[in-house]
């Protein structure tokens, strides 16, 4: 796959982490992002119903790679469905376009389990009591352009982004790190599946997005990943659900580990999961992802699937430590009014629970982490 990166990923990432705490201090707004009713009215979610009793509703993101591979495998996991059934629970998976949308429905109590990048995860933890036991993604978000550019060339340009996403905040941080403000560019809010078309039509000069959209743009159209910043993603649970159903939460986390391990067991398994994720993305958007299973597999292998299941899914202690990357990102969100001004990092920190995954790994046989029983036909029964 073509890769042309004009600024070194590691250098940009380090610079942005340093700047996160300091940029935009002059903005003292306490206003939070409005949970617009337009989110619930989005045509992609028009048929979603949440009224069935004793049902776990899980919000997924098939367009968030390689998270989509994991959740689409979990959706077909016979062991998970059977174990939840023994606990008196059914399960329904609903796909969403981005983490902000997941959080909208989770904060309302419609869904109990969600996945999101680090910024959406920190945002929900600052406003809703959640438990965050496991990572589900670890890789870059990208600013994509048609040609390699210098940072100064962004001035005055139209740049597409998905509101409230990792890529949104990566873009804001990137602009700040090069002495540019939001007013120096024209930011265009857009669903991630519309960004490539917008750039092909010269409606935008660049877009900020997470995988697999950048890789599609690079492979299919010769675009350039001009700037990349490391990010992470997590699976999180509403606190009231975790309190009431602690074993169900553990079974769901175990299913993530089982899915990662199953994909790592063979190339055939990985490619099959890629096919599921691509199909789910196409169904959600009504458009073809234009990404082959092999290309998707490459993305996954350089992301969370690049190390053992136990290691890849474990939340990094240095990232949540005092002064670590996630605290720096949280302080940035608070400085620009994206989380409550009165919130504290200590409260967000308490949302992370490293003991749950540790307990599951210590009891691998009980949780059947090495077993694999997946519905392999096209019509997996647990998505509505």
Q: Tens digits of per-residue pLDDT, 284-340?
A: 988 877 778 888 888 888 888 877 778 889 999 999 999 988 998 898 788 778 889
Label residue 42 by pLDDT band (50, 70, 90): confident
Q: What are phi and psi of 373, to 5 degrees?
A: -135, 95
**Token code pair at residue 375:** 């519905």
Q: How far apart are CA 202 and CA 224, in angstroms?
A: 15
Report pLDDT for 333: 82
User: Could you tell me the residue ranges of all domains in the chain?
Assistant: 9-32+141-224, 42-140+232-367
pLDDT for the residue numbered 64: 86
Non-local (6+) Cβ contacts of 377 within 8 A are none
DSSP codes of every residue in 248-271: HHHHHHHHHHHHHHHHHH-HHHHH
Query: For the segment 24-35, what is each residue's pLDDT rounded down to a tens digit?
Result: 333 333 333 434
Give the start-end residues of each E strand in 162-250: 186-189, 206-210, 224-238
Reported as a single tens digit per residue, the pLDDT across 234-280 is 999 999 999 999 999 999 999 999 999 999 999 999 999 999 999 99
With a CB cutoff of 8 Å and minimum separation 6, the contacts of 293 are 271, 274, 275, 278
> Distance (Å, rounded) from C-alpha 217 to C-alpha 195?
9
Least confident of 106-120, 186-200, 308-322, 370-384: 370-384
Report the chain's mean pLDDT, rounded to a whole number: 85
Per-residue burial over 318-336, b = 16 or more CB atoms within 10 Å of its CB, e = otherwise: ebbeeebbbbbbbbbbbbb
Q: Is the peptide bond before 297 cis (omega within 30 degrees of 0)?
A: no
Given this model, what pLDDT does residue 347 score? Answer: 92
382: its two tokens: 């647990």
Q: What is the pLDDT of residue 33?
A: 41
The per-residue pLDDT for 185 is 96
Tokens 């939460």 belong to 249
* Residue with more model confidence, 242 or 225: 242
Which CATH number applies to 42-140+232-367: 3.40.190.10, 3.30.565.10, 3.40.50.1360, 2.40.160.40?
Answer: 3.40.190.10
Residue 343 has pLDDT above 60, yes or no: yes
Token couple for 308: 């053992």
Closest CA to 249 of 350, 349, 119, 367: 367
The answer to whether domain 9-32+141-224 and domain 42-140+232-367 are alike in fold is yes
CATH match for 9-32+141-224 among 3.40.190.10, 3.90.1860.10, 3.30.230.10, 3.30.2400.10 = 3.40.190.10
Cβ–Cβ < 8 Å for 166, 119: yes
CA 17, CA 229: separation in Å to the nearest integer? Answer: 10
Percentage of residues in the chain having pLDDT higher than 90: 56
- Does the pLDDT at position 202 exceed 80? yes
Whether the Cβ atoms of residue 289 and residue 281 lie closer than 8 Å to each other: yes
Q: Which residue has the tokens 């079974």?
A: 251
Q: Which of 193, 187, 231, 222 has the alpha carbon at shortest distance from 206?
A: 187
Beta strands per DSSP E along the chain:
55-60, 90-95, 113-117, 130-145, 158-161, 186-189, 206-210, 224-238
What pLDDT score was predicted for residue 377? 65
- pLDDT tens by residue, 4-25: 334 344 333 443 343 333 333 3
pLDDT at 360: 97
Q: Does residue 363 carry a pLDDT above 90? A: yes
**In the predicted model, what is the mean pLDDT of residues 53-72?**
93
Looking at residue 128, its pLDDT comes to: 96
Q: How far is CA 244 from the centre of its chain?
A: 26
**What per-residue confidence (pLDDT) applies to 36?**
53
């Amino acid at each position: 796959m073509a890769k042309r990166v004009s600024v070194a990923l590691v250098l940009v990432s380090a610079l942005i982490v340093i700047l996160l705490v300091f940029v935009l201090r002059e903005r003292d707004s306490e206003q939070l992002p409005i949970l617009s009713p337009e989110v619930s009215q989005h045509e992609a979610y028009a048929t979603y119903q949440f009224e069935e009793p004793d049902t776990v509703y899980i919000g997924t993101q098939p367009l968030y790679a390689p998270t989509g591979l994991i959740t689409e495998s979990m959706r077909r996991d016979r062991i998970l469905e059977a174990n939840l059934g023994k606990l008196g629970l059914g399960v329904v998976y609903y796909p969403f376009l981005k983490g902000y949308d997941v959080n909208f429905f989770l904060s309302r109590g419609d869904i109990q389990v969600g996945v999101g990048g680090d910024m959406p995860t920190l945002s929900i933890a600052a406003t809703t009591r959640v438990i965050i036991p496991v990572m589900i993604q670890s890789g870059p978000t990208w600013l994509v352009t048609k040609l390699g550019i210098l940072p100064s060339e962004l001035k005055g340009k139209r740049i597409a982004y998905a509101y409230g996403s990792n890529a949104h905040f990566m873009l804001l941080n990137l602009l700040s790190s090069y002495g540019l403000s939001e007013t120096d560019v024209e930011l265009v809010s857009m669903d991630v599946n519309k960004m490539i078309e917008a750039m092909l039509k010269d409606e935008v000069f660049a877009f900020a997005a997470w995988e697999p959209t950048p890789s599609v743009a690079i492979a299919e159209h010769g675009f350039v990943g001009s700037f990349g910043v490391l990010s992470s993603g997590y699976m999180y649970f509403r606190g009231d659900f975790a309190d009431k159903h602690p074993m169900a939460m553990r079974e769901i986390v175990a299913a993530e580990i089982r899915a990662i391990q199953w994909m790592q067991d063979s190339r055939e398994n990985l490619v099959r999961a890629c096919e599921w994720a691509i199909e789910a993305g196409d169904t959600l958007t009504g458009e073809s992802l234009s990404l082959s299973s092999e290309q998707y597999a490459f993305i996954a292998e350089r992301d969370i699937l690049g190390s053992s299941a136990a290691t890849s899914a474990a939340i990094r202690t240095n990232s949540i430590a005092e002064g670590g990357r996630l605290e720096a990102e949280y302080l940035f969100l608070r400085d620009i009014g994206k989380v409550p001004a009165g919130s504290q990092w200590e409260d967000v920190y308490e949302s992370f629970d490293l003991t749950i995954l540790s307990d599951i790994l210590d009891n691998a046989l009980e949780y059947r982490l090495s077993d694999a029983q997946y519905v392999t036909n096209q019509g997996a029964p647990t998505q509505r």
